[in-house]
């Protein structure tokens, strides 16, 4: 539970690395009498490992730890804090850390209090074979000022810590935490115990070995610990023991304990205090006694809007009597309301010095706690919780956004409240579900929402969002209150696939496509560098007007859980989503093809929209260049157009073949985030091999490109096109992100027409129905090295004089190998630092020359009928020694994940090319993400590669499914029994890990996202895995 500044809950989320934590107070050395007490009670203390399977209320999904203790050994009942076990879907285990056997058992919630910070859990006592049966008795009356106590628990997640203190107060108001949840209408005790994270739920013990309170929170940078008294806990425990319900009444009003001097200033008669409170005998079973009399009264702080209390009570009212009896004790308040659920209570309050009597209905507080939720696009939604309504002064109606997810995260923030859909009120979860079911996939709808914790966004905001049913399984969950089990049902049903017709048409077109020559980029002609020309100047003209129907705004959005290897900065994070924008260029208006770059569309897995003027359409990735930052999109058909017909989007841009050179002037034209065309006159400073940033962990980055560098790049345009005054495009201007520990910088560069031409020619001539474009590659990263540096090297290491002359005549530099891709054609042949001198007996001094020779070899092989096997002769120089070898050219398809598998929270995909590029990788599938609250996170699965499940290799996603299926069949899940799978993983360095993973098919069923022939993503579930 997040904590307010200075106050923290003592629950602990384990850090990635263990941090040194100093405790200002050393653990006490137990005296003889304390030693006997501790020996008796310590076996009853457990360390709790809890995984919140979903975000719920204001608690986020994820694993954390805490403490609990046995209060009934025969029935297997544990006591802990509510904020430890959470109120939503969870999985929890208890480790009996007070026993040498350290036995571990699963636990489940049997009762969670709707307002106070405690919960009761159940375990099976028969599972304990070596742990002595011990329990700790509750003694609510034992919490007294001056009582010496010991707090025994999982402090700092160190399994077992024993801390000491002396109770200093028993009438403190509840600690104020930063989250929506906070206890109310109860006293807290306080002592200087120095408790820290992980100790939530620890018993506060007296010398008799009884629990007098429950450790709950602490104040940072102090020794102060705060404890919940056990009066309501003892009552709930007795009811649970006999299987009876635990009634909890509320008036929907929050009170605070206010000192006598303050209530006197508010108008309370001093005679009432002396006669009714201090002069009367203390109530039996209450907080106060003759030795510790009350020092204040209960004052109204606030009421939930829309309730009877809000109409009849006012902030500042001081409670005089409850049902005719004086009441200044929260224990008496709770007892009276719990006994009157469904009835009415009479209250007498002091308001401005006058006595005011009101009568209010006592409502069932359990009804104000969410007992169900909806899942849509990785978002979680449930009814407004009581604590949110009380904390932020909002009515108990609407739908609370526990996690915005993909669909609503487009514009709605987590922790907001949805009040209407398309103008229709959503007072509860049922009306919200019905409204969602009426909205077709990919259709926009309006959401009225407000963010109660924000002063600037408390008012209603209406924003459009796009329905996306196909990114995950959508479910409605209901909690069975008797068994505390969650039951799901499908939210939308299994709708027919809307793209079957188009996918079939594409598959048919591919079978009738042209010959194999069309499956690779056309040859480039002469590979010699073009003759130098006089610098050209832009002739003016209206480039913006010429491109107004050809440039479009590209918007990409995906949920953070589906990041498959993107380069992310703070500017890309919007709510739960990752958002990217850039400029697109219309290639083929009839086929709906648009060219953009990877800064706008970093991966195929995401929602893409293309906006041209006042027209916006969805789009899908058609091709991602594996080497350069070029992406071809295909826009969806407009409304009313057939799915397989022409797309009719914009006007085709004109690409000029002339190459830009240093000194040339041109126009940089692009779109800003508001879809406005902007342009700026720029000058080419240089055209040279680019030095592009690399990333750790590995991410795709531009490579092997002669980049256009501008002398005066404008600050307001990042992506766009470089063109002449008539709007004829000469290059595409892309961006790369340079990221260090503190800052991120946007680096602009131009992709030459020569590098773009194979893509443009392929799709403009053959369209969307052609065979896939394959890019020839040696799978080497090359960088340019000046000849002047080579000449200064020792004679035995540098190239011969003849080679230096050839290189000087060809271009004045040499290509040096920077990395060799694992399993690529040059793996085992080339090494980092080698010099690439020639390809197919042609001297190469630039990346474009290498690409030209590879395309020539591909065309020649296709003409000879051997398109499947293309070979070239390489000449390498290693430490002055020439190496010649024939290697196969690798034909790279479109880059990016085509298929993603989520297995128990591990987001798996085939190993990306960018990862193989850095060197050898383990033989397995790539772990792109681990979802919070999943078995993968809860069981601490490490590494970036999944190698095996139960000893069975998982080299591909299909092998993962097969291994998981066989493991499930070999270990069938029996009721009440736990099963674990041994999962072998590895890090990027090759270091291996083996962890047991406990499957959770209820909350984490295996599902798969895959792309069809039309580029459209769909989700399907693999049952039983």
Structure-block tokens of residue 134 = 């011990």
In b/e form, how buried is each residue of 193-228, taking b as 16+ CB within 10 angstroms? bbbbbbbbbbbbbbeebbbbbbbbbbbeeebbbbbb
Q: What distance in Å separates the CA atoms of residue 237 and residue 873, rounded to the nearest whole number?
A: 81
Instruction: Cite the beta strand spans of 597-658 per DSSP E.
Output: 607-612, 615-624, 631-635
Q: Determine the 3-state secondary structure of 1025 from DSSP.
A: coil
Determine what percent of the chain is predicted with pLDDT higher than 90.
67
Q: Are 872 and 837 in contact (CB under 8 A)?
A: no
Residue 443 CA, chain-centre distance (Å), reads 25
Q: Quick one: pLDDT at residue 641?
A: 67
Q: Are 598 and 629 in contact (CB under 8 A)?
A: yes
**Out of 229-238, 354-363, 780-789, which region has the weakest mean confidence (pLDDT)?**
780-789
* Average pLDDT over the chain, rounded to an integer: 87
Q: Determine the 3-state secondary structure of 308 from DSSP.
A: helix
- The distance in angstroms from the start CA to the end CA of the chain is 32
Cis ω before 476 (30° cut-off from 0): no
Taking residues 1-15, what's their average pLDDT? Answer: 48
Q: What distance in Å separates the CA atoms of residue 521 and residue 657, rounded to the nearest whole number?
A: 16
Q: Are 815 and 784 in contact (CB under 8 A)?
A: yes
Q: Determine the 3-state secondary structure of 948 from DSSP.
A: strand
Q: Determine the 3-state secondary structure of 215 from DSSP.
A: strand
Residue by residue, DSSP assigns 526-578 as --SPPPP-PPP----S-HHHHHTTTEEEEEEEEEGGG-SS----GGGEETTEE
Q: Are 181 and 1 in contact (CB under 8 A)?
A: yes
Task: Say if residue 20's pLDDT is above 50.
Answer: no
Q: Are 456 and 462 in contact (CB under 8 A)?
A: no
Taking residues 430-452, what's their average pLDDT? Answer: 94
Task: Say if residue 975's pLDDT is above 70.
Answer: no
Q: Determine the 3-state secondary structure of 173 from DSSP.
A: coil
Mark residue 644 as left, alpha or beta (left: phi above 0; alpha: psi -120 to 50; beta: remaining): alpha
Q: Quick one: pLDDT at residue 537?
A: 55
Task: Say if residue 539's pLDDT is above 80.
Answer: no
Task: Say if residue 1016's pLDDT is above 60.
Answer: yes
**Out of 180-184, 504-508, 951-955, which region has the weakest mean confidence (pLDDT)?**
504-508
Taking residues 40-48, what's their average pLDDT? Answer: 94
Q: What distance in Å separates the CA atoms of residue 73 and residue 869, rounded to the nearest whole number?
A: 72
Q: Determine the 3-state secondary structure of 336 from DSSP.
A: helix
Q: 157: which DSSP letter?
A: G
Q: What distance in Å separates the CA atoms of residue 153 and residue 98, rounded to the nearest whole number?
A: 9
Q: Determine the 3-state secondary structure of 345 from DSSP.
A: strand
* pLDDT tens-digit series, residues 509-520: 444 443 333 333
Q: What distance in Å separates the CA atoms of residue 612 and residue 426, rounded to the nearest whole number?
A: 34
Taking residues 214-227, what's their average pLDDT? Answer: 85
Q: Are 994 and 982 in contact (CB under 8 A)?
A: yes
3-state secondary structure 784-815: EEEHHHHHCCCCCCCCCHHHHHHHHHHCCEEE
* pLDDT tens-digit series, residues 592-641: 999 999 999 999 999 999 999 888 999 999 999 999 999 999 998 877 66
Q: Quick one: pLDDT at residue 538?
A: 52
Q: Determine the 3-state secondary structure of 992 from DSSP.
A: strand
Task: Say if residue 875's pLDDT is above 70.
Answer: yes
Q: 349: which DSSP letter?
A: E
pLDDT band with cut points at 50, 70 and 90 for residue 16: very low
Q: What distance in Å separates the CA atoms of residue 94 and residue 776, rounded to the nearest whole number?
A: 56
Task: Say if residue 22's pLDDT is above 70.
Answer: no
Q: Quick one: pLDDT at residue 30?
A: 52
Task: Say if residue 470's pLDDT is above 60.
Answer: yes
Residue 164: enclosing H or E segment and its boundaries? strand 161-172
Q: What are residue 964's phi and psi, to 5 degrees?
A: -65, -40
Residue 684: enclosing H or E segment and its boundaries? strand 677-689
Q: 274: which DSSP letter?
A: I
Pairing of strands 161-172, 104-112: unpaired
Residue by residue, DSSP assigns 751-795 as EEHHHHHHHHHHHHHH-TTSPPPBEEE--EEEEEEEHHHHHTS-T
Q: How many CB atoms lie within 10 A of CB 610?
A: 25
Structure-block tokens of residue 941 = 């699965």
Task: Say if residue 4's pLDDT is above 60.
Answer: no
Q: Quick one: pLDDT at residue 533?
A: 46
Sign of the four-CA dihedral 448, 452, 454, 456: positive
Task: Say if residue 554's pLDDT is above 50.
Answer: yes
In b/e form, how buried is each residue of 944-968, taking b as 16+ CB within 10 angstroms? bbbbbbeeeebbebebbbebbeebb
Q: What are residue 327's phi and psi, to 5 degrees?
A: -145, 115
Q: What distance in Å separates the CA atoms of residue 397 and residue 384, rounded to the nearest whole number?
A: 6
Give the CA count within 13 Å in the CB-facing half-sphere of 547: 34
Q: Quick one: pLDDT at residue 170?
A: 93
* pLDDT tens-digit series, residues 164-200: 999 999 999 998 877 788 899 999 999 987 777 778 9
Structure-block tokens of residue 625 = 């260049």
Q: How many CB atoms lie within 10 A of CB 360?
A: 21
Q: Quick one: pLDDT at residue 296?
A: 96
Residue 946: enclosing H or E segment and its boundaries? strand 945-949
Number of helices and strands in the chain (H, E): 19, 60
* pLDDT tens-digit series, residues 75-131: 999 999 999 999 999 999 999 998 889 999 999 999 999 999 999 999 999 999 999
Residue by residue, DSSP assigns 91-126 as EEEEE-TTSTT--EEEEEEEEE-SSSS-EEEE--GG
Q: What are residue 358's phi and psi, to 5 degrees?
A: -135, 160
* pLDDT tens-digit series, residues 647-658: 689 999 999 867
Q: Identify the residue whose tokens are 């907001």.
A: 416
Q: Which of 23, 3, 24 is nearest to 13 (CA)?
A: 3
Task: Say if residue 497's pLDDT is above 50.
Answer: no
Q: Are 852 and 810 in contact (CB under 8 A)?
A: no
Q: Quick one: pLDDT at residue 556?
A: 95
Distances (CA, A) of 847 to 40, 811, 899, 951: 76, 12, 31, 44
Determine what percent of the chain is predicted with pLDDT higher than 70.
90
Q: What distance in Å separates the CA atoms of residue 401 and residue 417, rounded to the nearest whole number?
A: 6
Q: Quick one: pLDDT at residue 770?
A: 61
Q: Which of 114, 121, 118, 370 is nearest to 247 (CA)?
A: 114
pLDDT band with cut points at 50, 70 and 90 for residue 507: very low
Q: How many CB atoms lie within 10 A of CB 24?
A: 9
Q: Quick one: pLDDT at residue 58?
A: 78
pLDDT band with cut points at 50, 70 and 90 for residue 767: low
Q: Are 529 and 844 in contact (CB under 8 A)?
A: no
Sign of the four-CA dihedral 403, 409, 415, 417: negative
Q: Which has more confidence, 99 or 18? A: 99
Q: What distance in Å separates the CA atoms of residue 780 and residue 1021, rounded to the nearest whole number?
A: 38
Q: Quick one: pLDDT at residue 536?
A: 53
Q: Determine the 3-state secondary structure of 1016 from DSSP.
A: coil
Q: Quick one: pLDDT at residue 329?
A: 96
Q: What distance in Å separates the CA atoms of residue 436 and residue 447, rounded to the nearest whole number?
A: 11
Q: What distance in Å separates the CA atoms of residue 240 and residue 865, rounded to the nearest whole number?
A: 79
Residue 485: enclosing H or E segment and its boundaries? strand 485-490
Q: 56: which DSSP letter?
A: B
Q: Quick one: pLDDT at residue 24?
A: 37
Taking residues 664-669, what's their average pLDDT? Answer: 92
């Amino acid at each position: 539970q997040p904590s307010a500044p200075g106050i923290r809950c003592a629950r602990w989320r384990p850090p990635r690395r263990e941090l040194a934590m100093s405790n200002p107070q050393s653990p006490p050395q137990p005296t003889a009498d304390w030693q006997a007490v501790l020996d008796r009670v310590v076996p009853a203390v457990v360390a709790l490992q809890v995984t919140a399977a979903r975000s719920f209320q204001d608690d986020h999904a994820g694993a954390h730890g805490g403490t609990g203790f046995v209060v009934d050994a025969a029935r297997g009942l544990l006591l802990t804090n509510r904020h430890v076990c959470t109120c939503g879907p969870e999985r929890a285990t208890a480790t009996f850390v007070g026993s040498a056997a350290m036995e571990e058992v699963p636990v489940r919630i049997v009762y969670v209090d709707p307002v106070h910070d405690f919960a009761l859990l159940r375990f099976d006592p028969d599972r304990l074979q070596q742990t002595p049966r011990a329990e700790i008795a509750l003694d609510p009356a034992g919490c007294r000022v001056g009582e010496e106590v010991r707090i025994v628990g999982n402090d700092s997640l160190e399994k077992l810590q024993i801390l000491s203190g002396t109770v200093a107060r028993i009438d403190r108001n509840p600690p104020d935490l930063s989250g929506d949840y906070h206890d109310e209408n109860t006293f807290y005790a306080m002592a200087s115990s120095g408790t820290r994270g992980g100790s939530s739920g620890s018993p506060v013990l007296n010398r008799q070995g009884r629990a007098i309170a429950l450790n709950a929170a602490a104040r940072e940078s102090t020794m102060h610990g705060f404890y919940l008294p056990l009066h309501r806990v003892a009552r709930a425990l007795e009811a649970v023991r006999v299987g009876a319900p635990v009634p909890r009444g509320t008036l929907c009003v929050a009170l605070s304990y206010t000192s006598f001097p303050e209530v006197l200033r508010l108008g309370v008669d001093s005679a009432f205090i002396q006669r009714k409170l201090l002069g009367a005998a203390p109530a039996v079973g209450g907080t106060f006694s003759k030795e510790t009399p009350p020092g204040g009264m209960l004052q109204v702080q606030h009421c939930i809007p829309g309730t009877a209390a809000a109409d009849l009570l006012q902030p500042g009212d001081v409670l005089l009597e409850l049902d005719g009896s004086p009441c200044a004790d929260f224990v008496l308040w709770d007892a009276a309301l719990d006994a009157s659920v469904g009835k009415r209570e009479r209250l007498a309050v002091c308001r401005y010095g006058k006595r005011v009597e009101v009568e209010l209905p006592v409502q069932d507080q359990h009804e104000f706690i969410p007992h169900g939720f909806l899942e849509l696009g990785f978002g979680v939604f449930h009814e407004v919780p009581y604590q949110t309504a009380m904390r932020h002064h909002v009515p108990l109606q609407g739908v609370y956004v526990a996690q915005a997810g993909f669909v609503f995260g487009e514009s709605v923030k987590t922790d907001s409240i949805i009040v209407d859909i398309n103008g229709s009120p959503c007072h509860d979860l049922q009306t919200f579900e019905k409204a969602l079911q009426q909205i077709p996939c990919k259709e926009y709808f309006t959401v009225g929402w407000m963010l109660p914790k924000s002063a600037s966004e408390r008012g209603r905001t209406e924003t459009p969002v796009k329905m996306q049913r196909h990114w995950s399984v959508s479910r409605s969950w209901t909690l069975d209150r008797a068994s505390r089990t969650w039951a799901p049902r499908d939210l939308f049903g299994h709708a027919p696939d809307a793209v079957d017709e188009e996918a079939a048409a594409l598959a048919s077109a591919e079978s009738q496509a042209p010959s194999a020559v069309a499956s690779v980029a056309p040859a480039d002609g002469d590979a010699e560098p073009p003759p130098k020309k006089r610098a050209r100047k832009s002739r003016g003209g209206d480039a913006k007007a010429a491109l107004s129907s050809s440039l479009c705004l590209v918007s990409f959005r995906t949920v953070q859980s589906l990041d498959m290897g993107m380069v992310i900065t703070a500017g890309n994070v919007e709510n739960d989503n990752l958002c990217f924008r850039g400029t697109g260029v219309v290639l083929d208006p009839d086929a709906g093809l648009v060219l953009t770059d990877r800064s706008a569309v970093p991966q195929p897995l995401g929602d893409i929209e293309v906006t041209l003027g006042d027209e916006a359409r969805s789009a899908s990735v058609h091709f991602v260049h594996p080497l350069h930052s070029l992406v071809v999109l295909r826009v969806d058909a407009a409304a009313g157009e057939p799915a397989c017909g022409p797309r009719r989007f914009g006007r085709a841009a004109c690409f000029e073949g002339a190459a830009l050179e240093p000194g040339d002037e041109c126009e940089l034209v692009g779109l800003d985030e508001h879809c406005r065309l902007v342009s700026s006159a720029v000058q080419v400073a240089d055209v040279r091999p680019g030095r592009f940033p690399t990333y750790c962990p590995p991410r795709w980055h531009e490579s092997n490109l002669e980049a256009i560098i501008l002398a005066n790049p404008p600050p307001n345009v990042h992506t766009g096109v470089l063109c002449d005054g008539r709007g004829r495009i000469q290059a595409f201007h892309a961006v790369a992100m340079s990221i260090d520990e503190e800052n991120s910088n946007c680096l602009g560069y131009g992709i030459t027409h020569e590098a773009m031409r194979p893509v443009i020619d392929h799709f403009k001539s053959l369209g969307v129905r052609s065979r896939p474009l394959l890019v020839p590659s040696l799978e080497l990263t090359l960088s340019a090295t000046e000849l002047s540096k080579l000449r200064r090297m020792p004679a035995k290491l540098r190239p011969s004089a003849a080679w230096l002359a050839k290189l000087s005549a060809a271009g004045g530099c040499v290509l040096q190998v920077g990395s060799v891709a694992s399993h690529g054609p040059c793996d085992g042949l080339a090494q980092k630092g080698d010099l690439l001198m020639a390809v197919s007996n042609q001297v190469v001094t630039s990346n474009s020359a290498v690409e030209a020779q590879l395309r020539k070899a591909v065309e020649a092989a296709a003409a000879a009928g051997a398109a499947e096997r293309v070979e070239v002769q390489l000449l390498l120089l290693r430490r002055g020694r020439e190496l010649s070898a024939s290697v196969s050219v690798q034909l790279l398809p479109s880059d990016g994940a085509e298929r993603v598998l989520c297995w128990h929270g591990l987001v798996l995909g085939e190993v990306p090319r960018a990862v193989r590029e850095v060197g050898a990788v383990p033989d397995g599938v790539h772990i792109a993400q681990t979802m919070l609250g999943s078995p993968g996170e809860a069981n601490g699965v490490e590494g970036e590669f999944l190698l095996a499940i139960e000893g069975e290799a998982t080299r591909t996603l299909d092998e993962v499914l097969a291994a998981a299926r066989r493991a499930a069949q070999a270990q069938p899940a029996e009721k009440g029994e736990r099963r674990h799978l041994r999962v072998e993983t590895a890090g990027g360095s090759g270091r291996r890990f083996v962890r047991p993973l406990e499957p959770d098919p209820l909350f984490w069923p295996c599902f798969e996202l895959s792309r069809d022939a039309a580029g459209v993503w769909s989700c399907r579930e693999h049952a039983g895995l």
